Amino acid sequence: MALELLPKIDSPADLRKLPTNKLPKVCAEIREYIIDVISKIGGHFGSSLGACEITTALHYVYNTPDDKLVWDTGHQTYCHKILTGRREALARIRQFGGISGFLKRSESPYDAFGAGHASTAISAALGMAVARDLKGDKNKVVAIVSDGCMTGGESYEGLQNAGQIQSDLLVILNDNQMFISQRVGAWGSFLTKLLTVGAVQNAEKKVKNFLARSKMYGATITRIIKRAKVLLFPGMLFEEMGFAYFGPVDGHDIERLVEVLKHLKDMKGPVLLHCVTKKGKGYAPAEADAYTWHGPTKFDPATAKFLKNPTPKPPPPSYTAAFSKFLLREAELDPRIVGITAAMPEGTGLDAFRDRFPKRYFDVGLAEEHAVTFAGGLAAEGYRPVVAIYSTFLQRAYDQIEHDICLQKLPVILCLDRAGLVGEDGPTHHGVFDFSYLRMIPNMTVMAPADENELQHMLHTALALNGPVSIRYPRGASVGVPVDDEPKALPIGRGVRWKDGSDVTILAIGNRVHPAVEAAHLLDDVGVSAGVINMRFVKPLDLEIIKEALSRSTRLVTVEENVLQGGFGSAVLEALEGTEAQVLRIGLPDGFVEHGAPNILYDQVGLSAPKIARRVASWLGREFKEKEVAAAI
């Protein structure tokens, strides 16, 4: 299909010039464009295909950007980006120097609020609605909630507060959970028509009045009537929270969506519109397999086959796959082990655990806080819960880690996938704060493996400890080292020397240990004798091995893939307070690192092997020529 309408739409104002009957063609062209672009570069896919009609209808009916659209989980917003002047820029989405894959206020005035994590839209939109009321403005505010975000507690906190405040606010529930409700059809259309013209609203008022009068009959009949009310009127959960509920409606019938939105636009108070959509709509393979096509790599649109970059040999297994394998082996031997994740079974590798031990596996939805305290309850009763969550999402459960786990010294194992710089997902997903926010909590043991072999030993060690433990490991391929046949318990708080050196010692942690060794060899080439210690533990810190390093040289370098503030290097500085040690800390800067391929980001922030070597050489007053760096990259 040739693109006829889309090339003429550079803003929502252009979209609004079209008659309503042209909107289905606009959505079809947007889908074709998304499929064409993402097939070449990879990226979020299924959610954006599913949200085309909702997005287009909103920009058609509302006066954006004066009217505010607040999105949950920005990976459903590629259509939004296309309609708001970023059509051509989509070709470099999520690439270094290109536009973000999520919502970003600095990128466009149409991005009213940043969206990377889930369940934030209702709270943010309510804040904007209240700000509008305080200023006496008249603009509209819409929150678009999707992709399981209603399983996150913050969504309900926002709903109850919105129902209490009663500011004008529209919440669209984009129900795309890989099914189409039977209520979408004659009954759904009939109910929606009644609701939008006010007939059922009037009936609702009568029911409420009757309920008020029924108090004279006592509590029993009131409970019966309330239960009947819930059965008779869909969405009564939202009604009881103070929202006017409308729907469900077919989220792919754009002409009907426009009609409904025009009715709802000027309603007073909080309103919830329930739309049912299909992830991957318009591309059959994505409709059939929502998970695979959530964020695919490059593919051939005609055959749906993924395109692989030619490599001399296949990469080693990912850290996630290695963790999954090691956990299965441990769980086979210990029936106390349970697996917990927050809506990320495949992303964390717990899908294999789920399939092998379904009764010992728990997906709590996008509810990280609950996941941690739930694990605490299991641990208090003698189980060994393994909570697998991305590092950046575990931040949401900080109070639960401190109060519910560490204060009570409960044996919960926190496995932090996607630790460090995750690449194209960017600053909302980089897991670069966990050393800092975990090491300050009493009773917490903080580990980071240098490679997949150490990962198996650390998992085995953590499961044997009678206290809280965190293990962090990066996204993507592991190092490819040989893996021992059997796991072994590591001595707690003990590092290991990997390379001797007399001029300086590099104290490295986690996945920067191997690059630190490479850097040390580069330094050898320019006459700097650099030793390397794999510290293994951020807490407790191995003071003995640091003391031994100081006997060789008073110059130490710390290397970590974490922010410098409060991280591993800070722990070393605190331990050496009052000594004559000279310490250079290499880590992430005090700022959010943008998106891009990991190798580009490592070089940019100074954590690639050549950049580590250059920084150390400069600190020691040695020359490290650019050609040597270039040769080593």
The two tokens of residue 90 are 């989509």
Give the model's confidence band at 628: pLDDT under 50 very low, under 70 low, under 90 confident, else very high: very low
Give the model's confidence band at 100: pLDDT under 50 very low, under 70 low, under 90 confident, else very high: confident
User: Would residue 279 show up in a list of annotated catalytic residues for this protein?
Assistant: yes
DSSP-derived letter for residue 511 is G
The two tokens of residue 420 are 């460090």
Whether residue 83 is predicted with pLDDT greater than 90 in this model: the reply is: yes
Give the model's confidence band at 211: pLDDT under 50 very low, under 70 low, under 90 confident, else very high: very low
Whether residue 262 is predicted with pLDDT greater than 50 in this model: the reply is: yes
pLDDT of residue 85: 94
User: CA 347, CA 320: separation in Å to the nearest integer?
Assistant: 8
- Rg (alpha carbons) of the chain, rounded to whole number: 27
Taking residues 152-163, what's their average pLDDT?
90
Q: Do 375 and 340 touch, CB atoms closer than 8 A? A: yes
Whether residue 336 is predicted with pLDDT greater than 90 in this model: the reply is: yes
Residues 6+ apart with CB under 8 A from 265: 61, 62, 140, 170
- In angstroms, the Cα distances linking 419 to 211, 320, 500 are 53, 11, 28
Least confident of 32-46, 225-239, 532-546: 225-239
Whether residue 186 is predicted with pLDDT greater than 60 in this model: the reply is: no
Whether residue 225 is predicted with pLDDT greater than 50 in this model: the reply is: no
Q: Which residue has the tokens 């739309």?
A: 275
Whether residue 191 is predicted with pLDDT greater than 80 in this model: the reply is: no
Q: Do 48 and 78 touch, CB atoms closer than 8 A? A: yes
pLDDT of residue 311: 63
Q: Give 292-311 pLDDT, tens digit per residue.
A: 888 888 998 999 899 887 66
Nearest Cα residue to 347 out of 396, 295, 398 = 295
Phi, psi of 531 (to 5 degrees): -90, 160
Q: Do 549 and 531 touch, CB atoms closer than 8 A? A: yes
The two tokens of residue 226 are 């309330």
User: CA 74, CA 101: separation in Å to the nearest integer?
Assistant: 7
Taking each helix axis from N to C end, the angle separating 199-213 and 186-197, rounded to the nearest 10 degrees, works out to: 80
User: CA 397, CA 372: separation in Å to the nearest integer?
Assistant: 7
Pairing of strands 305-306, 299-300: antiparallel
pLDDT of residue 314: 82
Whether residue 207 is predicted with pLDDT greater than 80 in this model: the reply is: no
| pLDDT over 90, % of the chain | 70
Tell me the three state secondary structure of residue 529.
Answer: coil
Taking residues 91-120, what's their average pLDDT?
89
Q: Give 419-445 pLDDT, tens digit per residue.
A: 999 988 888 899 999 999 999 999 999
Taking residues 244-265, what's their average pLDDT?
92
Whether residue 195 is predicted with pLDDT greater than 60 in this model: the reply is: no
Whether residue 178 is predicted with pLDDT greater than 70 in this model: the reply is: no
Phi, psi of 464 (to 5 degrees): -90, -15
Residues 6+ apart with CB under 8 A from 404: 372, 373, 376, 410
Mean model confidence pLDDT for the chain = 88
pLDDT of residue 630: 44
Which strand (E) or helix (H) includes residue 272? strand 270-276
| pLDDT over 70, % of the chain | 89
pLDDT of residue 148: 76
DSSP-derived letter for residue 152 is S
Annotated catalytic residue, options 154, 204, 259, 368: 368
User: CA 429, CA 419: separation in Å to the nearest integer?
Assistant: 9
The two tokens of residue 424 are 């194209």
User: CA 527, CA 543: separation in Å to the nearest integer?
Assistant: 28
pLDDT of residue 366: 86
Residues 6+ apart with CB under 8 A from 355: none
Tell me the three state secondary structure of residue 69.
Answer: strand
Annotated catalytic residue, options 31, 104, 281, 396: 396
Whether residue 190 is predicted with pLDDT greater than 90 in this model: the reply is: no
pLDDT of residue 372: 97
Give the model's confidence band at 205: pLDDT under 50 very low, under 70 low, under 90 confident, else very high: low
pLDDT of residue 192: 45
pLDDT of residue 184: 39
Annotated catalytic residue, options 183, 279, 384, 439: 279
Residue 588, sorted as left (phi over 0), alpha (psi -120 to 50) or beta, turns out to be beta
Beta strands in 520-599 (DSSP E): 530-534, 537-539, 555-563, 582-588
User: CA 58, CA 171: separation in Å to the nearest integer?
Assistant: 12
Whether residue 196 is predicted with pLDDT greater than 50 in this model: the reply is: no
User: Would residue 614 show up in a list of annotated catalytic residues for this protein?
Assistant: no
Q: Give 457-508 pLDDT, tens digit per residue.
A: 999 999 999 999 999 999 999 999 999 999 999 999 999 999 999 999 999 9
Nearest Cα residue to 183 out of 195, 168, 169 = 195
Whether residue 625 is predicted with pLDDT greater than 80 in this model: the reply is: no
- In angstroms, the Cα distances linking 18 to 22, 43, 61, 77 are 6, 30, 12, 21
* Class of residue 249 by CB neighbours under 10 A (exposed 0-12, middle 13-18, buried 19+): buried
For residue 187, the tally of other CB atoms under 10 A from its CB is 13
Whether residue 337 is predicted with pLDDT greater than 50 in this model: the reply is: yes
User: Would residue 368 show up in a list of annotated catalytic residues for this protein?
Assistant: yes
Diameter over CA atoms, the chain = 92
The two tokens of residue 159 are 């709903």
The distance in angstroms from the start CA to the end CA of the chain is: 44
User: CA 23, CA 13: separation in Å to the nearest integer?
Assistant: 14
Least confident of 56-65, 376-385, 598-607, 617-626: 617-626
Tell me the three state secondary structure of residue 221.
Answer: helix
Q: Do 382 and 436 touch, CB atoms closer than 8 A? A: no
pLDDT of residue 334: 98
Give the model's confidence band at 143: pLDDT under 50 very low, under 70 low, under 90 confident, else very high: very high
Q: Do 519 and 506 touch, CB atoms closer than 8 A? A: yes
Q: Do 330 and 460 touch, CB atoms closer than 8 A? A: yes
Q: Which residue has the tokens 């920005």?
A: 74
Instruction: Give every strand in the sheet of 384-390, ordered side by side.
Output: 361-363, 337-341, 384-390, 413-417, 469-472, 445-447, 537-539
Q: Give the predicted TM-score (pTM) of the model.
A: 0.85
pLDDT of residue 1: 59
pLDDT of residue 170: 97
Taking each helix axis from N to C end, the angle separating 254-264 and 186-197, rounded to the nearest 10 degrees, works out to: 30
User: CA 597, CA 376: separation in Å to the nearest integer?
Assistant: 37
Nearest Cα residue to 168 out of 244, 80, 257, 70 = 244
Give the model's confidence band at 232: pLDDT under 50 very low, under 70 low, under 90 confident, else very high: very low
pLDDT of residue 538: 98
